[in-house]
Structure 1
Amino acid sequence: MQLEQPTQEPAWSGTIPSAIDARVLGLVVVTAGLAASINVPYGGLPVAIVAFALLGSGGTIVHLLGERKLRRITDGLVERWVAAGGQVETVTRSSGGMRTEWTVHTPDGEITVGGIALVPIAKLAVEWQGVGDTMAASEAEANIDELADSLYEEFFEIGSTLQRT
């Protein structure tokens, strides 16, 4: 009689939580309000209102596009790590300063992936055990396979070796 061994399913659900950041949106609203208030003496209240609406909606769109880009990169990294054999328990939303971040929970520690979520200047930052690296989000997205491979080697292969010693 043989007992069946339970198959070990990965704990990660396959979804990255949304990270629309109220702090960034608040900064957009305040900046739009200040910029629009400059128009009051020159164009009057109607011009200031139109300027506020344009700047506020433009800033919100820029943040949403940046958040989507960082979320796609994070999802791509985690998917590639899991496919390569890395153990990912969960991915949660975290916050640090004005950065939009996710924390990838692994048995070897937490990996923070995030950055500045404003599409023209979007930056990706990856941090593990106090050591981090930053690059342009568009560069990271274009080279996602190479980035995932190098980070996998650092986080999962070297990290598990360090945990054993």
Structure 2
Amino acid sequence: MTVEMQLEESAERARDWSGTVPTAFDARVIGLVLATAALAASVNVPYGGVSMAAVAFAVLTAGGIGVHLLGERKLRRLTHGLVERWTAAGGTVEGVTRTGDGMRTEWIVHTPNGDVTVGGIPLVPMARLSVEWQGVGDTMDADEAAENVDRLAATLYEEIFEIGASAEQTR
């Protein structure tokens, strides 16, 4: 295969995926943040009054939403990094969409070998990344995944694009 043909194929693959991963909103996490903030703020009513409870609720809610946004951003960057490495290695990614219900922080990576679901727990101090393909999933600490994203992407690439492609051919 000539270099020109490889560059054309590479450019063709790049056109499939737009290069972006959409933001994902997790209503469950926001509900948990609001419930925890309300409970914690209610403890302040006997000691500081309603005004102190309102301030505590506002501070805790802002902090919780900030932690959620940072966690979502970390998971989105990891998803982008995985997809970017898969396409650079020669895998075909048709697109990346978020799940439609808004109740989870996860994205669906559409490939010819089947959809890969990437998501996790979007709370920064305890963020977890999960990857699921064909009913088999794995979960790991998001910080650990970020440190080893090249190795993780290579392992998943082999499983999804190489083993998955050979399984499709034998059917």
Question: Which consecutive residues of structure 2, in runs of 5 or more, have no partner in the other structure?
Answer: none
Question: Residue 89 of structure 1 corresponds to which residue in structure 2?
Answer: 94
Question: Residue 135 of structure 2 corresponds to which residue in structure 1?
Answer: 130
Answer yes or no: is the 8 Å Cα contact 2:24–2:102 preserved in 1.
no
Question: Residue 35 of structure 1 corresponds to which residue in structure 2?
Answer: 40
Paired amino acid for 1:113:
V
Answer yes or no: is the 8 Å Cα contact 2:24–2:104 preserved in 1.
no
Question: Residue 75 of structure 1 corresponds to which residue in structure 2?
Answer: 80
Question: Residue 100 of structure 1 corresponds to which residue in structure 2?
Answer: 105
Question: Which consecutive residues of structure 1, in runs of 5 or more, have no partner in the other structure?
Answer: none
Count matched residues.
160
- Structure having the higher helix fraction is 2
Question: Residue 139 of structure 1 corresponds to which residue in structure 2?
Answer: 144
TM-score by length of 1: 0.91
**CA distance in structure 1 between the aligned counterparts of 2:114 and 2:101, rounded to whole angstroms:** 18
Answer yes or no: is the 8 Å Cα contact 1:77–1:148 preserved in 2.
yes
Question: Residue 166 of structure 2 corresponds to which residue in structure 1?
Answer: 161
Which residue, out of 104, 112, 116, partners 1:111? 116
* Cα deviation digits, residues 31-57 of structure 1 (max 9, x gap): 211211121112111110111011100
Question: Residue 157 of structure 2 corresponds to which residue in structure 1?
Answer: 152
The DSSP-based 3-state class of the residue aligned with 2:21 is coil
Task: Give, in angstroms, the shift of residue 97 of structure 1.
Answer: 9.2
Show structure 1 runs of 4+ deviating over 3 A.
95-99
Answer yes or no: is the 8 Å Cα contact 1:63–1:118 preserved in 2.
yes
The DSSP-based 3-state class of the residue aligned with 1:28 is helix
**CA distance in structure 1 between the aligned counterparts of 2:47 and 2:101, rounded to whole angstroms:** 39
Please say which of residues 111-120 and 41-50 is displaced more in the overlay. 41-50
**CA distance in structure 2 between the aligned counterparts of 1:98 and 1:122, rounded to whole angstroms:** 16
Please say which of residues 91-100 and 35-44 is displaced more in the overlay. 91-100
In structure 2, relative to structure 1, the CA distance for the partners of 1:96 and 1:129 (3 Å cut) is farther
The DSSP-based 3-state class of the residue aligned with 2:91 is coil
Answer yes or no: is the 8 Å Cα contact 1:115–1:125 preserved in 2.
yes
